[in-house]
Structure 1
Amino acid sequence: MAFSDNTLLRVAMTSVGLVAGAACTDDARHAKGGPPCPADGTCVTNLASAGATTGAGGGGGGGAAAVDVSGVVAVLISSTFDQSQLYAGEATVVADQAGGGTVSAPWGGDAGALFTLHGVASNARWLLVDNSASASAIVATYSTLVLSASATVTAPVVDTGVLDTVAGALLPPVAIDPSAAQIILALTRSGAPLAGVRVSSPPSGAVVAYDQGAGAYSTDALATGAGGIILLLNVPASTAQASDVTLAVNDAQPKTFALPIRLRGHTATVAHFAL
């Protein structure tokens, strides 16, 4: 089953049979898009302050109401990071738990057609698809999450081969460091990809590339192109703990936006923000 298009990935599944036959026409880069930033250029989030460390799925669930979240895992299969298909392997899906800590559920194998996370914090902002030690075909992936009334989502996971191909096509070619964090930002405005956005203060040691349209990226470009995609590759990060950090970007006006990012070594972060 393949997913495509450039709107938010939202799978409305009311039964296992519907999952098997669903035709999804939303953007595969995120479980649901992050909330828009207000006019003053600041993003109000429930994440910890910049540099704060959390557990494998992150903290921030203390005192929040609990919800159950069900969904599927889909692997991103294109260099535009907006097309995917159901992931046929096994993985573990993790989210912040109400009251603190994390909650997890298996995907694939004998786990059934859906994963279900019980007791997710209602203010949770991230899903983690954690790969098994043998699942070298995918990179463990955080994705932005905003819970809907149905609380049914599709969690994207990055294909290792796609990431290697994109990095290798840069000039000069970039070799992906498996111990580092990889960040893929999809930026939109009024539902369309947003051109002219740049990272004002990239993380030290990161390789920054901007889309030049249709899955092409350049480290020489100064801002996003028609695809609204920013890649931050080989970002130094702890492999033991996730961190919630703030990444500042500027649009063409210019206006500054503070984007909350969760990152961890050995892991990709696929984040959508409507600016």
Structure 2
Amino acid sequence: MTSDRAHILVLDGDGELIAALHEALDSKSYYIEVVKACADTLNTLERTRCDLVLLDLDQEGLARIELMKRVRETYPEASVIVATQHPTAASAITAVRYGVHDYLVKPARPEDLAQSVARGVAKARRARREKLLLARLRDLTYLLDLDEPPDMAYATAPTSHNGMSSRHGNGHLQTRDIIIDRHRRRVRRNGKWVNLTPTEFALLSYLVTHAGEVQEYRKLVREVQGYEADEWEARNLIKYYIHCLRKKLEPHPEEPTYILNVRGVGYLFSSPGI
């Protein structure tokens, strides 16, 4: 699946929705993944990002209503469309209450299904962009509000064989010419303070703590941002913050010596001797 194709997850009991989707959608723009059980839907959402979830309510009725609720509560950025041949006021009200994108009555016309899916995908992607922009805005606001700390002298701690400081116990990490004060959430390089956003600080701290070890993109998002992302989203998110860190830490950002990329895998922080 290429990164620009929308990922549609379909829970379909009788194959009717699948046939309608293939008739309505362009395969070059959409990747359709089919599951047959509620548990499979949740397992798929846990391991990958989906733009839209299409649920057939005519199979396992109550179980799928509960699944609809859980998907909306746990994965709010994914749009949800429900379809049923037997619409009821109760299921429609529940769908509205939980913010379902659309409630379709089967058999749905291909043109109606195509329009609903397109709007749902656009809504999901807009929500993700807004989430990323808000995170970056919070980081920028943090920097604008940050007072320059007084110049303080740190005694240089003896370093271990891999270039890491032995002063982990008091909240400091030191490697090469970088000192990280985890209590005050400050970073010094060559004796000068470097203003980092909270996300940049967390990412640098994690990489330095595991200096010399390759960290995969998805693992970095999980450890630093606290949520699961698919490979494409993780790669682009971490790439942005690594770019910011290199501009602030590397003498020559275009030729990095601290944070190195392992193509197709992730990043590592390079310490002396590694």
Q: TM-score, normalised by structure 1?
A: 0.22
Q: TM-score, normalised by structure 2?
A: 0.23
Higher normalized helix content (fraction of residues): 2
